Amino acid sequence: MNKYVITLAQTCLGCKKPSCQKGCPVNTPIAEMIRLFLAGDIKKAGKMLFENNPLSVICSLVCPHEKHCEGHCILNKKQTAVSVGSIENYISEFYINDVQFSEAPKNGHKVAIIGSGPAGIALAFILATKGYEITMYDGHDKIGGVLRYGIPDFRLNKAILDTLVVKLQQLGVIIRPNIMIGKNITIADLFRDEFEAVFIGTGVWSPKKLDIKGESLGHVHFAIDYLKSPSVYNLGKKVVILGAGNVAMDVARTAVRNGANEVIILYRKGMDDIPASKHEVDCAKIDGVKFDLYKEPKEITHLGVNYVKTDGSGEMGFLAADSILVAISQNPKDYIVQNNKGIEVDGRGLVITNESGMTTLKGVFASGDVVTGARTVVEAVAFSKKVAVAIEEYITSL
């Protein structure tokens, strides 16, 4: 037992109307979690967390807590907020490693899940525990989506995902890797093979371009591609990141850990406008990442980046770099939409759904980043919980 976890838990005031819970997208019962933990009911606390959020063990590590639960803690007014993430992680990790699931009695209904990122994994757990026959399809050789291929190891130990695979299999979930639905197998094929509902949770894996001269040069890379396998890249000693979201921070910190001596984030606005969470920015600074602000890239050359100052002066400048990483968000890949008529998308290629997650094609649902654009893991789980209800209502109405 880590004594510091107990100390952290003891700072909680046990509010009768906990604002931390209201600040959580999945309404995690934080005060009750801590009460059970301190009372010696860690397994009960873990079970409660898992049933509310099947990815509690992951959200406790990668959530922007300062924006959600911890940001709403009443102690922020005079002291330091309760370290909810650390406490939740200790409880959730204990539970997921301890619990042994068994298959629920089958209810005779089959659901296909395309994509095994946060949205798909959460939905698989929810429906499998209710007796649905679940088959998950993913284009990679291992499940996890952005959790495995988009979040660095120093933020999320991938052994956690391997544990979740075991738990899914205990519940009878069938995982079919290395298959891209929309190429050889279509959604029509899934319905032909007696799946009653199909869920799309394929995330956003197509990097957005800056559309400036030099973007095709050999020392320019897209952030989401780099994060999949950073060890295969030789970035050199000086790396410039274009973009300032959470992915940019992940890329910058990863580059530091893979041999870069100098890593600079080039951003067109100031520190207060950076879209990344304050925690991630602080971590990047601690790792030695530098921020070069009020500069917008205009052209990439073999030697670095030509930019214009956005502070009102309009001055031009140049920043030397061995490699440039583009981190300005991602869009969905369109394999499914191209090969399946009836699924409408918006101007960014994001799947259009109603508030319950139903797409414009009957029986097909979607949630997560493929619907909302790149968001947090906990937001994907929150949406998938709504979709699970909608899928059950749809199937029972057939």
**Residue range 259-289, pLDDT digits in tens:** 999 999 999 999 999 999 999 999 999 999 9
Does position 197 have pLDDT exceeding 70, yes or no?
A: yes
Q: What is the pLDDT of residues 152-195, one digit of tens each?
A: 999 999 999 999 999 999 999 999 999 988 878 999 999 999 99
User: What number of helices (H) and strands (E) belong to the chain?
Assistant: 16, 15
Q: What is the pLDDT of residues 106-128, one digit of tens each?
A: 999 999 999 999 999 999 999 99
Of 104, 24, 108, 109, nearest to 59 (Cα)?
24
Which residues 6+ apart lie within 8 Å of 384 measured at CB?
118, 119, 120, 122, 123, 126, 201, 357, 367, 368
Of 354, 387, 351, nearest to 369 (Cα)?
351
Domain spans of the chain? 3-98, 110-206+331-396, 209-328
Does position 46 have pLDDT exceeding 90, yes or no?
A: yes
Query: Residues 341-348: what's their mean pLDDT?
Result: 85
| Helix or strand (DSSP H, E) at 61 | helix 56-62
Q: Which residue has the higher pLDDT, 130 or 338?
A: 130
The pLDDT value recorded for residue 335 is: 66
Q: What backbone phi and psi angles, to 5 degrees, belong to 364?
A: -110, 125
Does position 374 have pLDDT exceeding 90, yes or no?
A: no
At residue 277, what is the residue type?
S
pTM above 0.75, yes or no: yes
Q: What is the pLDDT of residues 292-333, one digit of tens each?
A: 999 999 999 999 999 999 999 999 999 999 999 999 988 877
CATH 3.50.50.60 at 209-328, yes or no: yes
Hey, how many other C-beta atoms are within 10 angstroms of the C-beta on 153? 12
State the number of CA atoms in the 13 A half-sphere of 81 facing the CB: 20
Query: Residues 16-29: what's their mean pLDDT?
Result: 96
Q: What is the pLDDT of residues 231-262, one digit of tens each?
A: 999 999 999 999 999 999 999 999 999 999 99
The pLDDT value recorded for residue 1 is: 55
Tell me the CATH architecture of domain 110-206+331-396: 3-Layer(bba) Sandwich (3.50)
Of 95, 203, 91, 200, nearest to 147 (Cα)?
203
Query: Which of the listed CATH numbers 3.40.50.920, 1.10.1380.10, 1.10.1060.10, 1.10.10.10 matches domain 3-98?
Result: 1.10.1060.10
Does position 212 have pLDDT exceeding 60, yes or no?
A: yes
Percent of all residues in the chain with a pLDDT value above 70, rounded to a whole number:
98
| Helix or strand (DSSP H, E) at 318 | strand 316-320
Does position 204 have pLDDT exceeding 90, yes or no?
A: no
What angle, 0 to 180 degrees and rounded to 10, lies between the N-to-C axes of helices 84-98 and 42-52?
100
Hey, how many other C-beta atoms are within 10 angstroms of the C-beta on 35? 15
**Fold: same for 110-206+331-396 and 209-328:** yes
The pLDDT value recorded for residue 339 is: 66
Average per-residue pLDDT for the chain: 94
